[in-house]
Amino acid sequence: MRVSPLTVTMLLCAIATTGCPPAPSNPGTRAPAAPTVAATSEADAQQIFTERCTPCHGAQGAGDGVAAAALTPRPRNFHDATWQGSVTDTHIETIIQQGGAAVGKSPVMPANPDLNDKPAVVAALRAMIRGMR
Interacting residues with ligand HEC (CB under 6 A)? 48, 52-53, 55-57, 67, 71, 73, 75-76, 87, 92, 95-96, 100, 105-106, 108-110, 112, 125, 129
Count of CB atoms situated within 10 Å of the CB of 42 = 19
Please identify, using beta-carbon distances, which residue of 48 and 123 lies nearer to ligand HEC. 48
Secondary structure (3-state) at 20: coil
Residue 106 and residue 73: Cα distance in Å, rounded? 7
Residue 39 and residue 80: Cα distance in Å, rounded? 27
Please identify, using beta-carbon distances, which residue of 123 and 129 lies nearer to ligand HEC. 129
Minimum CB separation of residue 110 from ligand HEC in Å reads 5
Please identify, using beta-carbon distances, which residue of 3 and 108 lies nearer to ligand HEC. 108
